[in-house]
Structure 1
Amino acid sequence: MRQNLDSLILRGGRLLQQFVVDNCVKMQANNLRWISLNQDKIRADLYKGLEDSLHAGEHNTENVGRRTILPSSFVGSPRDLHQRYQDAMALVHKFGKPDIFLTMTCNPSWPEIQSELLAGQVPNDRPDLLTRVFHAKLEELKMDVLERGILGTVVAYVYVIEFQKRGLPHVHMLLILDQNDKLTTPDDFDKIVRAVIPDEQVEPKLYKAVLKHMIHGPCGVLNHKSPCMKQGSCKKGFPKEFSNDTKQGNDSYPLYRRPQDRPAAPLRENSRVRVDNRWVVPYNPFLLLKYDCHINIEICNSIKCVKYLYKYIHKGSDRVSMEVHNGDEIAQYVDARWICAPEAMWKLYKFPMTRMCPSVDRLQVHLPNMHQVRFEANQPISSVLENPRNSKTMLTEFFKMNSVDPNARRYLYREFPEHYRWLSTSREWQKRKSQQRVLGRLYVASPLEGERFYMRMLLNHVRGPTSFEHLRTVNGVTHPTFRAAAEALGLIENDESIRQCLSEACSVRMPTALRRLFATILVYCQPTGLHSLWDEFFPYMVGDYPTSNTTNNCVFLTNKLLQDLDRLLRPLIKRISDYTELPSLPETTDDIDELPSIIEEYFSIPVPDEDLACVATLNSDQQIAYDTIMNAVISKAGCSFFVDGPGGTGKTFLYRALLATVKSRGEIAIPTATSGIAATLLHQGRTYITFDFSAST
């Protein structure tokens, strides 16, 4: 701290809070403005799609590609949070479940803060002090936990900074311990975690610290208006039950030792509220005494659904939402964000919001020439295709490295980043000079994606492929498809590939996503042992449904799941009743009048006026085609038409006129295409997958 410096800004109180929030918002607005202004300039499409456009007579990228919205490169965006969550789950795949969940909250009474307050100030008046002191404490905590190993040797960790509504920063940290330091028994838990009020005579400092920082609420009968109260009970489960011994939790945190061995203690000096061990938040004595703040330690290795822990810490900052902007993620982010002064100051100081170790490299998975290429509007397509950088991807260069480096062939694709590093400037892999703590994660593929899904499966099992063809080669035979190669390797026999897909998804996906995946598998994968898959993954798919201890709970969960799956199947022209191996859906829950969601969406979006105006400006050739096709529509004649012409002759203009006319008559016309190009040019355009066509049809 600089001494004898009297700053008017630092004496501003709430004006200082408003000042730092305004400056943080300005900084974000500048970044968001750049993204917004470049939506029409920076495009992306499949490499193959650009080739198709060039062959079809389209030479300018102005009419090609889909717009980017709020990318994952913007820290705190939904895409960024989702990617970080997936990266964190890659740590679980490599090292196993986390062992310790640590939360530390800033204490505004820390002497480092109090000693720097100016006359008449309270901590909230100085968000600069709150953030800088907490950051310093966090760095020391990281030294204690990660370097000095006071809780055990940490092999992997992730932490996220959050801010309470009242503005105080806190950190959530998940720690994975070395195999030799794993906490497996109640005795192990007791060595680092306590949940009792210590004896005042034996540990007077710890006694005061526990009562000051580690008492929950109180709530319940002691305070019905506590924020944690929901429907008459504490949502955190306080007060806990008395227990003479620590017990292993059943898909929960352990039941820590909370003996009823001494009278209740006054919460504060001269306080009429008295608390006992049932109200103590678990803590570590050393950390509590050293940091003198709320610092909660939980043993979490008995929790089955660890994804909820990682999802919790990657939920993002507080948000409010008043309006939904269809398709405008930037506007929705701006309107929904909630920024307090300490968070604004944290970002202005450029302190990190999250950290993960080991780091995770995200590996591209794409079919031949189906990788994404970025380009600028008005850039000639030929120049995009001729640029050698655009043909290089992580995957193609992985093949190339395997073809020239025999040592590289020892590794799977996901293991490659541990031994080679990706140079984004030259777009090539380079052998690491020293072993680095880096993991690889393949982007997820769904069975709905067909060949890409099976190619990803092969990449997880085949070492050293030198090309896409080599990847499809098994025992000297080059198979025509990746699925055929996977079958030849025995990877998709007896539903094993489906089971592996669901198992992997269970570790990283929420129940809603699992239900969508299961519906996709029903339609596109034709599993043979459907009943066994249902039994195995049923608990994961109903994980977010409300439960009870009644005997009818299982029936309720089954019917609820069947109903949701049926709703997901309807847009795919399937019903849950088509799968006889599954339980039957009661007729009372079956709404036969419900429209498929694709049709509901279709009628909910109005026809653009400019498309309706196309009809009046058709040229003579377009008018002939228009009249011929509309006569077939009006007469209900089942016909197929092929409209051909060089690029720029107005085919898309004709399609827009036809689609607008049909929809304005209250009829249905859904345009589809084989890539994202035509789909973006037509109102409500979709890809071929809408009607379950394959890409090769």
Structure 2
Amino acid sequence: MFLAWFVANQEYSEGRHLTYAEFPSKFTYYPDKRKWHPRQRGFQIGRLSYIPVGSGELYYMRILLTFQKGCKGFNCIKTVDGKLYDTFQDACYALGLLSDDKEFIDGIFEASRSQSGQMLRVLFVRLLIMSTMHKPDNVWKATWKLLADGILYARRRILNIPDLRIPESDLQNLCLIEIEKLLMCNGRSLKDHKTLPYLVFDELLAQPNKFIADELNYDKDQQGQLHQSLLEKLTDEQYDVYATIMKSVEGQDGQFYFLYGYGGTGKTFMWKTLSAAIRSQGKIVINVASSGIASLLLPGGKTAHSTFCIPLKINEKSTCNVKQQDPRAKLLRETSLIIWDEAPMMHKFCLKHLTVLCVI
């Protein structure tokens, strides 16, 4: 019956000034022919089936059917003042049929003065479940920082890193994970709300890892600016080294490079440039040195012994005490590049055992 209305509007001009609900007043439907024909006598009032608010696009299409006239297809229903909108909901907004949800935004801001981030997330989930917000994505964009309140503090306590920083994209994802947990307790999901961003499940975010968090505790934008300034200062020879190593990192071919040079030739400068380049992409680079003093010159540098659990007394049968599912093992799997300064100062077994560890 509904699809036949499109066909009737194409055939009969007298019905194009009627909405779908008004159509039976001038036309009658023949089920056997599945067609509308002009009414010869009588009068009939049409009615539209009830659609609950939480039905999504179907609900907004029903609203439009009480306003749009002479539609010849689904795109006609979504067209307002000659402009075709992507969704029925957007078309409803263009006609002024929906509120702007400002009352909910103001409500969350007001509640934030006395309530914790967890309680704000509970409030947001209740609004989602009751389908009171017409555009929850607008409310999310305006209030997500309030909804994420307390998440960074909790991560700092769990990881015992007081100055831990989390990029905004990861913080949003963590907030979405918490909202998804609350929705699942009520038999719902973020997937039920198409306009809201869906969480990207990341095992590293879901299960805090102190070692990974420590290596990612930097400002990606700041690292990008540092990388640009360092890159401009490289000599031609240094740039060739930089390009070769970066190509290997991006290709993930697991190559091993040995950079040799006298003191003052720019080896540490190269390490800083490579570190900034990889961290500007949000990846992990581990900087280690054979001695504690040398590690101080590297960005986020540590000793090789502490990072890879290398025994102080080492022999051919020694092993790095790192199990497959340990947090340190997960760090190595997520690492894009390992820089080892003053490697020749170490015993050959140290390098051998590290190679075996990374392969495993």
TM-score greater than 0.5 by the shorter chain: no
TM-score, with structure 2 as normaliser: 0.31
Instruction: Normalising by structure 1, report the TM-score.
Output: 0.16
| More helix, by proportion | 2
Computing the radius of gyration from Cα coordinates, the structure with the larger value is 2
